[in-house]
Structure 1
Amino acid sequence: MNQNNQNPAVAVWIVTPKGAGIAQRIAASLENVTVHAGKSADGPEGALFFDSLAGAVEKHFRSYDAHVFVMATGIAVRMIAPLLDSKHVDPAVVTIDESAGFAVSLVSGHLGGANAWAKKIADITGACPVITTATDRAGVPAVDLLARQHGLHADNPEAVRAVSMAMISGQKPLRYDPYQTLGQELGQWTQEITTPGFGNQPGIYVYHHCPDLPENVLVLRPASLAVGVGLNSGTDAGQLCEAVYSAFARHGLSVKSIREFATICEKTHEPGLREMAQHFARPLTGYSRARLAEIKNVPTPSETVEKHMGITSVCEAAAIKAARSGQILVPKQKTKNTTVAVAALDFLS
């Protein structure tokens, strides 16, 4: 299952012939739909049949991005209850009765997309969508959904509740957001601050630094940092990862804000470097010597690098280049086999 999938996988569950007609309409209107039908349900062509609904749901629950149960909500609740983990990882679950009266967003309304799926199913079948999440009923933005849409990684997703409840009650949570990542959507709902002083108020912190913040402040990490890397041939991923973690910890930065890794082209084939990038799930970019030489006045030029590579810097120049000429936050950090530098983008896009 991949909740960010551009072609999400949907399971439609039916247990009676009456539900088969609704399943057929859903399958004909959406892509990547699999109908799971009970033996007596007379499912549509291509349906997968099961003997036990509970057993089939347990087997396939994590294999789909969304589940649509064409049956009583109570039955669906009993099927999925033992399988639920948290709203941050659970697939969307929607129920629709066999008369197509109501399409109910049951589980993972925001992050899993069940609210949106309920509306889609309602449009297809003529049902009335039922959305019960508090922010939707109150007409305030869903902060967790906005964060995901903007590629922000939450350090403490449990703080979403404090922020949402503040907005629902008419308060304006404080928002420290130097890149204005959420400014357009949350501008009227929050009070912007220019320094991260929250006191005891609920708030939202959108930045790459790691200050101590109250529990009711939602910490969101933008992809705002480029990491330049230099290494000796044959350096393993463990050494490289340790160098990155150490540099970030020493300078109070979050590795969740890493946007990409960058180095000189000649080093991109190094297995350790590729493995390190995979560990952080971030892309690796290689720049030619000519491109790196465009970066002038690096903080710590190296005569040794210039002698062997023909340029005065690899890691710092690569970081600056990848950050679109952004500011160096961490100048070259050197170990026996690695060098690491970090630059911050001036703007996000």
Structure 2
Amino acid sequence: MALYALSREGREKAREIAAGLSPAEVFFPERLGSPRAGETSFAASGLGALVEKNWAGYAGHIFITAAGIAVRQIAPLLKNKTCDPAVVVCAENGSRVISLVGGHIAGANRLARRIAGITGGEAVITTATDSRDLMAFDELAALSGWRVENPSRIKIFNAALLEARPLDLLLPEAVFERYYAAQVNLRRLGEPAEIQAGLAVVLDPPPDWAGPDDVEILVLRSRSTL
């Protein structure tokens, strides 16, 4: 994880967070003094270049700054939700920790909650499914170590989850019971041939299986089939 701070207060908060997230590296301006082990200082005007250099090298980027500063630094670097790293913004006093980018697949929501646990603050999660206490399908995949084979369809399926539309799920029974059994619009199936809804989430279908012509399929792949 990379943590960025621009003030002495922010640097101390970054150090506190880094101690709880290890391994993590703290970056701050040269004017704040000499870096310790696991820290790097940068020129006063060099934050943008530093973030760009670090972007692909860290799973998460944590800004102990105003949210607007973080947005301006990362905006030119964003590509899409399947490959962008997690971005979290934390208030200098640790009172608010905002999941900004990569809430599900990159794990920013989980990272924000973890940081809030370190600082004693509140994690601010704005993804719609989390706000409704629903397990989004890309979040399920990330938590389970699965891959979404057709990520362009994630939005369709998470929207259906939010709108309580009928969905057929070919998922392990334990997963269904833990996350989805309470939702009457969701039905767990044992075989692809049982699909009846217009939308279905399928874990590890045969490689050459396309599903019924009139059904949208979200395909998840477990580690055993990757």
Q: TM-score, normalised by structure 2?
A: 0.84
Structure 1 or 2, whichever has the larger Rg, is 1
Match status 1:218 vs 2:218: yes
In structure 2, the partner of 1:155 is: 149
Query: How many residues are matched?
Result: 216
- 1:267-278 to 2 correspondences below 5 Å: none
AA in 2 matched with 1:205: V
Local SS of the residue matching 1:110 = coil
In structure 1, the partner of 2:198 is: 201
In structure 1, the partner of 2:32 is: 41
In structure 1, the partner of 2:5 is: 14
Change in 2 beyond 3 A, CA 1:107/1:64: same
Local SS of the residue matching 2:99 = strand
Which structure has more RCO (C-alpha within 8 Å, separation ≥ 6)? Answer: 2
AA in 1 matched with 2:176: G
In structure 1, the partner of 2:19 is: 28
In structure 2, the partner of 1:94 is: 88
In structure 2, the partner of 1:192 is: 188
- 1:1-349 to 2 correspondences below 5 Å: 10-42=1-33, 45-46=36-37, 47-51=39-43, 52-177=46-171, 180=173, 182-184=175-177, 185-189=179-183, 190-193=186-189, 194-196=191-193, 198=195, 201-209=198-206, 210-213=209-212, 216-222=216-222, 257=225
Q: CA deviation digits over 1:118-158, x for unaligned, max 9? A: 11221222222100011100111121121233343322112
AA in 1 matched with 2:127: T
Alignment RMSD (CA, Å):
2.3
Q: CA deviation at 1:191?
A: 1.1
Q: Which runs of 5+ in 2 are unaligned?
A: none
**Contact 1:152 1:221 survives alignment (8 Å):** yes
**Contact 1:207 1:222 survives alignment (8 Å):** yes
**Contact 1:93 1:105 survives alignment (8 Å):** yes
Q: CA deviation digits over 1:171-216, x for unaligned, max 9? A: 3411234x54743333344212444465672221223321245573
Q: TM-score, normalised by structure 1?
A: 0.57
Local SS of the residue matching 2:89 = strand
Change in 2 beyond 3 A, CA 1:182/1:28: closer
Q: CA deviation at 1:162?
A: 1.8
Mean alpha-carbon deviation: is it higher for 21-30 or for 182-191? 182-191
**Contact 2:51 2:74 survives alignment (8 Å):** yes
